[in-house]
Amino acid sequence: MYDVAIIGAGVVGSAIARELSRYEMRVCVIEREEDVCCGTSKANSAIIHAGFDAAPETLKAKLNVQGNAMMDELARELDIPFVRNGSLVVCTKEQDVTKLEELMMKAAKNGVPSVRLVEGEELAELEPNLCGDVVKAFYAPTGGIVCPFHMTMAFAENAFENGVEFFLNTQVEKLERGADGYRLYVRKLPSGARAAKGAHGRACTVTARTVVNAAGVCADTFNNMVSAHRFSIMPRKGEYMLLDKTAGNHLSHTVFQLPGKMGKGVLVTPTVHGNLLVGPTAKDEENRDGVNTTAEGLDYLSRTAELSVKNIPFREVITSFAGMRAHIAAKDEALMYGTGESPAVSEEERTGDFVIGESPDAEGFFNAAGIESPGLTSAPAIAVMLAEQIADKLNLSEKKDFRKKRAGILRPDTLSAEERNALIQRQPAYGSIVCRCEMISEGEILDAIHRPLGARSLDAVKRRTRAGMGRCQSGFCSPRTMEIIERETGCCMMDITKNGGRSVFVVGQNKEV
């Protein structure tokens, strides 16, 4: 019996797990994928939004601004790469400049600090590579960029170190409400060779006094199992292009286009790792797992991005990817809790707001649903909000020995030459380079494998260390990384996967047949 079972180990589920680990109770996180940060949390814009876009008096607006304000301290405590590079929303001469004034009013109502309008020489000085058609921009200096992988893993690892149990490769198939809480019927999913051969995994049950539904695009499924106050999620696909680090200095700020009905338009932004990111598209999809990219989508990105930023070196694209946003298409009126009744908030804006809190008719069932943009930014504030509600409901006391700090993977390239040489003398693995594009050493990969919730697949290593994220996209380093995983974990080479499930690389021995 757990006090809390969290469904989903994305950034929101992991942040909630960390906040709940401050209290004296048993908490588990159930995730169907082989690692944390495998859904929407790994495929997004990696932006810490300032908070000027969401409709005032919505949960999105409130939690965005709160989450943004928490980031500096969180980055220090959890060793998360984070930069406040500032955001620009640009307006071209063909667009309505009064829309920027509307953003200013929204920002003021939402409590976003230090925003202003810029134009002329000041705008050109801020961003020399803006298109000539850009005449004015809204500037929010508190906007930032982050690594979503490291942010999610930092929450999860710190929660694990504070006693939270994680069940990965475990799918919740059914949820029932009982007299003493909830029964979750789960299946431990096979991975590697067994999955490739069609094994179904092992079924078992988990019981919990309360449940947190942080299941992303599947959150409606679990809510509708236990509550008559239903909602439905329409997955909204966003496609992206990532450019090589040679293009990373093309911009210094995150450049947005004027927001539209489907979102904030196509942005162009530097990343905390020195790349340039372009995206996303916004297309509603029926297939919740349909994260394929399309020629049409990528062509749209390149054409649309050039309306705001000139001379983008698209020849430097090293990969493209897509993610699904959990857009709530319809929901029961009673699930609009937390949303104000201001006439300035339209029906469409209220319907699209986050669904956060205890269900009106399923006691002990807490939703963290519909977490689309600005979900990454809002995650820390969502976690605090829900943890306080659950702690109050269960009458919990805080731990006296909660460990709030977590150290990330050591990066030798952040050390001086003397410090790096001393490190290699102590631990020679840091002198063996495995990934040449990103200059990732064997020592960093060993750290990724042996740290809390350690990596067991190539993508898990990649998210933790960036081995395989460079120009060749793991073409050189993957065999060596697989050898290290096999040696360190005792896992058979035929069970090592790209990202869990059936994504095996090795299917047999040479000349076996």
| Exposure string over 215-235, b if 16+ CB within 10 A, otherwise e | bbbbbbbbbebbbebebebbb
For residue 19, the SS3 value is helix
Q: What are phi and psi of 449, to 5 degrees?
A: -75, -40
What are the E-state strand segments in 141-297? Answer: 144-146, 165-167, 170-178, 181-188, 202-213, 231-243, 254-257, 267-270, 276-279, 283-284
- Residue 73 corresponds to which tokens in the numbers above? 């301290």
Rounded Cα–Cα distance for residues 170 and 32 (Å): 4
| CA 364 to chain CA centroid, nearest Å | 26
Of 49, 150, 229, 327, the active-site residue reads: 49
What is the DSSP code (8-state) at residue 310?
S
In angstroms, the CA 125 to CA 121 distance is: 6
Residue 49: active-site member: yes
Short-list 217, 136, 129, 222, CA closest to 172:
222
Tell me how crowded residue 188 is: count the other CB atoms within 10 A of its CB: 15
**DSSP character at residue 80:** -
Contact 175, 182 (CB under 8 A): yes
Other C-beta atoms lying within 10 Å of the C-beta of residue 508: 9
Catalytic residue set: 49
